[in-house]
């Protein structure tokens, strides 16, 4: 059973998600994606393959959500979907083979995407 603090945190997160604009939802997903990959890298460095696997699997789910939400009428959707497919493959390698280099490669691909989406969201709806 969750504690009162855990319930309060969950309620706060739900309120943030419910109140977020579509562009802010994308940045929130990217933020969590990067956190998951960085936590996976730390877990791999510490030899905790179970935790790394949990984070990498969650990162794959976020990539699937981002890929599924792409607007196919946008000119860049094919290229971004291809990048998402590549990152998913590398996340799988990172998880199955316990490959820290693949995890770092994913982080290096995700971080600039996250920054670009934040810049785009700020241009559309400043915080």
Query: How many whole angstroms from its chain centre is CA 40?
Result: 12
The total domain count for the chain is 1
* Cα 2 to Cα 21: distance, rounded to the nearest angstrom: 29
Residue 22: pLDDT band (50, 70, 90) is: confident
Give residue-wise pLDDT tens across range 61-86: 999 999 999 999 999 999 999 999 99
Helix (H, G, I), strand (E, B) or coil at 44: helix
Candidates 54, 46, 118; CA nearest to 91 is: 54
* Cα 70 to Cα 22: distance, rounded to the nearest angstrom: 12
Q: What is the pTM of this model?
A: 0.87
Domain CATH for 112: 1.20.120.340
DSSP-derived letter for residue 29 is: H
Tracing tokens 């935790």 back to the chain, one arrives at 51
Domain that holds residue 52: 4-124
DSSP-derived letter for residue 14 is: H
């Amino acid at each position: 059973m969750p504690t009162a603090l855990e319930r309060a945190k969950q309620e706060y997160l739900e309120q943030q998600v419910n109140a977020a604009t579509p562009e802010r939802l994308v940045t929130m997903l990217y933020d969590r994606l990067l956190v998951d990959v960085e936590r996976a890298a730390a877990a791999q460095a510490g030899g905790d393959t179970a935790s790394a696997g949990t984070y990498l699997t969650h990162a794959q789910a976020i990539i699937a959500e981002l890929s599924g939400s792409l607007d196919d009428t946008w000119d860049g959707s094919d290229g971004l979907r291809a990048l998402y497919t590549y990152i998913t493959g590398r996340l799988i390698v990172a998880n199955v083979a316990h490959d820290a280099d693949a995890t770092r490669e994913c982080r290096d691909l995700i971080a600039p995407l996250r920054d670009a989406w934040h810049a785009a969201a700020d241009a559309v709806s400043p915080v």
